[in-house]
């Protein structure tokens, strides 16, 4: 990852935001990139009739809260090893602001959910929207994430162009972190499983060969990365979620071989972002 804008992380003081700041700071230090902490002051929507004026001093209080969140985030970032850290409060609608600010970023990092009312949701509205609309890779961090610097990086591969972009990023991440890369190809979603007389052994063998060929060029470029190939008769999302239990990062394309042109987020990537047990980085087409 390389960009003049470095890594951008959304800050709102929620538990998953705290985890996101820590993860983003460590990643910025790893890539030797600047880190920008961003808190968005979103205009409140008052749904009352008759219309109720905003309480006196609310705007000042809101800004003070944002400044406190940023101070705490800066302390977390410093403790995590980030050296080039800046903080910014911006005013506007959260999702469009972060999408716009992320246009030149190497990566946009967010917690899986913020301080919204629906705490039962696995993925908040901000993180869900950003993985659909951001112009750069988006890393989603869950609040229960336990960091492991020795765990492998996992990448989902299906032969699509955006899968190739995900593979490139996954090799870079595994190389920088000095860990194994697990390349997963799961073929249960191909629509052939109910066909009578299907030779699954032959299909598995051909899939193994195709995956090896797909990885060959990247292995030459990153000879330091040990690659473990996983070819299974399973749903891709299920296999990636299962592999995420022992991973430090899962990399997926925003949509794969089943996605249509212009698709914002495929079903596999959506399921993985929702349910993975490790941070998930969603890569958009370049």
* 52-104 tens-digit pLDDT: 677 788 888 889 999 999 999 999 999 999 999 999 999 988 899 999 999 98
CB atoms within 10 A of CB 284: 20
pTM for this predicted structure: 0.86
Kindly report the average pLDDT of the chain as a whole number.
84
For residue 55, what pLDDT is reported?
A: 78
Compute the average pLDDT of residues 170-197: 80
Which range (20-29, 243-252, 269-278) has the least confidence? 269-278
Does residue 145 surpass a pLDDT of 60? yes
Q: Class of 153-283 per CATH?
A: alpha beta
Q: Tell me if residue 198 falls in helix, strand or coil.
A: coil
Helix (H, G, I), strand (E, B) or coil at 5: coil
From the DSSP assignment, how many helices (H) and strands (E) are in the chain?
A: 8, 10
Contact 160, 256 (CB under 8 A): yes
Exposure string over 153-179, b if 16+ CB within 10 A, otherwise e: bbbbbbebebbbbbbbbbbbbbbebeb
Q: What is the pLDDT of residue 189?
A: 54
Percentage of the chain beyond pLDDT 70 is: 81
Q: How confident is the model at residue 262 (pLDDT cuts 50, 70, 90)?
A: very low
* pLDDT tens digits for range 37-53: 999 997 766 555 566 67
- Residue in 247, 249, 253 with CA at minimum distance from that of residue 282: 253
Q: Give the 3-state DSSP-derived string for 126-186, with helices as H, strands as E and coil as C.
A: HHHHHHHHCCCCEEEECCCCCCCCCCCEEEECCCCHHHHHHHHHHHHHHHHHCCCEEEEEE
| Mean pLDDT of the region 157-180 | 92
pLDDT of res. 255: 64
Q: Are 103 and 4 in contact (CB under 8 A)?
A: no
Strand (E) or helix (H) holding 218: helix 200-221
User: What is the reported pLDDT for 188?
Assistant: 60
- Looking at the domain that runs over 7-141, which CATH code has it been given? 3.40.50.12370
SS3 assignment, position 41 = strand
Residue 51, class by beta-carbon neighbours within 10 Å (0-12 exposed, 13-18 middle, 19+ buried)? exposed
Starting from the edge strand earliest in sequence, which strands make up the sheet with 280-283, in order?
85-91, 35-41, 7-10, 107-111, 138-141, 280-283, 249-253, 153-156, 181-186, 227-232
pLDDT band for position 198 (50/70/90)? low
**Three-class SS of residue 115?**
coil
Give the pLDDT of residue 268: 82
The residues of the chain that CATH labels 3.40.50.12370 are: 7-141, 153-283
For residue 197, what pLDDT is reported?
Answer: 56
Among the listed residues 79, 59, 55, 57, the one whose alpha carbon sits nearest the alpha carbon of residue 67: 59
Q: For residue 7, what are its two tokens?
A: 């890594």
């Amino acid at each position: 990852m390389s960009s003049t804008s470095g890594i951008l992380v959304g800050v709102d003081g929620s538990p998953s935001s705290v985890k996101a700041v820590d993860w983003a700071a460590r990643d910025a230090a790893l890539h030797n990139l600047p880190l920008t902490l961003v808190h968005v002051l979103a205009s409140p929507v008052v749904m009352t009739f008759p219309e109720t004026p905003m309480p006196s001093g609310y705007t000042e209080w809101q800004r003070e809260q944002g400044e406190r969140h940023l101070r705490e985030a800066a302390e977390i970032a410093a403790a995590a090893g980030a050296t080039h850290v800046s903080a910014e409060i911006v005013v506007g609608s959260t999702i469009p602001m972060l999408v716009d600010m992320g246009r030149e970023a190497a990566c946009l990092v967010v917690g899986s959910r913020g301080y919204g009312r629906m705490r039962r949701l696995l993925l908040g509205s901000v993180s869900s929207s950003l993985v659909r609309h951001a112009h750069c890779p988006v890393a989603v961090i869950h609040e229960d994430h336990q960091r492991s610097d020795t765990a492998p990086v996992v990448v989902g591969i299906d032969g699509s162009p955006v899968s190739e972009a995900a593979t490139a990023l996954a090799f870079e991440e595994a190389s920088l972190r000095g860990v194994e890369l697990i390349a997963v190809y799961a073929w249960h979603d191909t629509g052939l499983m109910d066909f009578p007389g299907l030779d699954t052994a032959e299909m598995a063998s051909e899939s193994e060969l195709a995956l090896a060929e797909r990885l060959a060029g990247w292995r030459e470029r990153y000879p330091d990365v040990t690659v473990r190939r996983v070819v299974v008769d399973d749903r891709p999302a299920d296999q990636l979620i299962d592999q995420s239990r022992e991973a430090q990062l899962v990399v997926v394309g925003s949509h794969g071989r089943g996605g249509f042109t212009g698709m914002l987020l495929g079903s596999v990537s959506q399921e993985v972002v929702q349910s993975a047990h490790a941070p998930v980085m969603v890569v958009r087409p370049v």
